[in-house]
Amino acid sequence: MTTVPPSGMNMRGAVDLSSLVNRPAAPVPGAPAAPAGAPVPVPSLILDGTDANFGEVLELSMTVPVIVDLWAEWCEPCKQLSPVLERLVAEYAGRFVLAKVDVDTNPQLTQAFQAQSIPTVAAVIGGQPVALFNGALPEAQVREVFERVLELASEHGVTGTAAAPAVGAGAAGDASEAPVPAEPELPPLHREAYDAIERGDYEAAIALYKTALARDPRDTMAVAGLAQVSLLARLHGKTMAEIRAAAAAAPGDLDAQLLVADLDLSGGHIEDAFDRLLELFPAQEPVGRNKIRERILELFEVVGQDDPRVPPTRSRLTALLY
């Protein structure tokens, strides 16, 4: 991915974030809703974007353009570019928010943004991704890219601003400080599960959702939450290259093939994921077939039962079963 010229920048790139848009993601901490037309309050203009909370980052992009910096601690060019991005975001004073994504701990976002090398920089405008550039560019070139992103955002009506608390703000007795709206109340087990996801403890979140379902098997939020965090847990700590290489090296390893389907779906390639699973089905023994059936039903929960790709996949699965 190279720098996109002004005439080539558009809202239709190769990146597909649908799987991250559709699921109820863990919230970006401290980001209450804003009245219409007011600056959107955020905890900081520089946020950590994660597989768990990126749905909220996408929601923020409906009002304010979001710059996405995919980086890693070991990446030397990242250490050159990240300070430039942070400095410019601060300079633009709320016209952008920067979401920093550590590729080592967020495989879904790494796959979704197709980060073949890092640093990779993209934008999200109105929930839609825009590929920008990779590599460490000089500040002057990065500034030009930012200006073009603002132009594109304006064309699509994304012209809001973000407001972060000033350093030292919020002291006791500050009568000018507006009250912060309370977050929607969640059942205690769901809140604990969200907190576990935020800190990357997926196994704890799985246990909490299972407890919620044991108490109430009709808890549809827990069913969906369990499916989503189980997907995160299966992909955690694995790279896209490792997953695909393992599957290619062992075509008869059902678990390896199932993980590729997880990877495809996490990157927004939902039809590819379902097709892969359905094509695997006929050659399997009963135990393998049941495993595929269960995985497909679980992935239905991840993308949402109202996703238009679910009914035809369900019909194909039924035909294979009977």
The residues assigned a catalytic role are: 75, 78
**Within 13 Å and on the Cβ side, how many CA atoms surround 140?**
0
Distances from the Cα of 116 to the Cα of 12, 106, 166, 321, angstroms:
19, 14, 37, 38
- Quote the tokens at residue 189: 């087990």
**Within 13 Å and on the Cβ side, how many CA atoms surround 280?**
28
- In angstroms, the CA 81 to CA 134 distance is 10
- In angstroms, the CA 220 to CA 226 distance is 10
Closest CA to 85 of 11, 125, 135: 135
- In angstroms, the CA 92 to CA 261 distance is 40
